[in-house]
C-alpha cells in the first residue's frame, strides 16, 4: 500500500514537470494567427499529443495523471498486472518510474 502511494505521487509529479508553461505559450502567435496556447489545446483535444509538450489540463496536470489519487489507479494496476494500456507515462522519466513500479 505504501508503495502504491509512493509511486503514485512520484509519477504524478514527474509527469507534471513536462507540462509546458501556459503563460509562455499564450504570448506567442503561430503563422496561422492563433496563439501557441490555442494550437496546443487544439492538438491535445484532437490527439492527446502536442508539438509544444505533454498535454496537460488547465491546472497544469497531465491529462493521463490529473491527480495523485487518479494516478493511484495506474499504480495499483501496474503493480498487480501489466496494466491496461489506457493510461501510461509519456515522458522518459515517467517511463523509468513505470519500469521500477513494475518490478
- Using one digit for the tens of pLDDT, what is the confidence trace for 76-87? 888 887 767 778
What number is the average pLDDT over the span 21-35? 90
Q: Is pLDDT of 16 > 90?
A: yes
Q: Percentage of the chain with pLDDT > 90?
A: 56
Phi/psi of residue 92, nearest 5 degrees = -65, -45
Residue-wise over 10-49: b if at least 16 C-beta within 10 A, else e? Answer: bbbebbbebbbeeeebeeeeeeeeeebbebbbeebeeeee
**Cβ–Cβ < 8 Å for 41, 78:** no
Neighbours of 99 (CB within 10 A): 11
**Cβ–Cβ < 8 Å for 25, 40:** yes
Q: How far, in Å, CA of 68 to CA of 5, rounded? A: 8
What number is the average pLDDT over the span 24-41? 92
Amino acid at each position: 500500500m505504501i508503495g502504491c502511494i509512493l509511486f503514485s505521487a512520484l509519477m504524478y509529479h514527474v509527469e507534471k514537470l513536462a507540462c509546458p508553461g501556459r503563460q509562455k505559450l499564450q504570448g506567442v502567435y503561430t503563422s496561422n494567427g492563433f496563439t501557441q496556447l490555442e494550437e496546443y489545446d487544439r492538438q491535445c483535444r484532437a490527439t492527446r499529443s502536442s508539438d509544444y509538450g505533454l498535454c496537460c489540463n488547465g491546472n497544469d496536470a497531465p491529462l493521463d495523471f490529473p491527480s495523485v489519487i487518479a494516478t493511484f489507479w495506474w499504480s495499483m494496476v501496474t503493480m498487480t498486472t501489466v496494466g491496461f494500456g489506457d493510461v501510461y507515462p509519456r515522458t522518459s522519466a515517467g517511463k523509468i518510474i513505470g519500469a521500477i513500479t513494475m518490478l
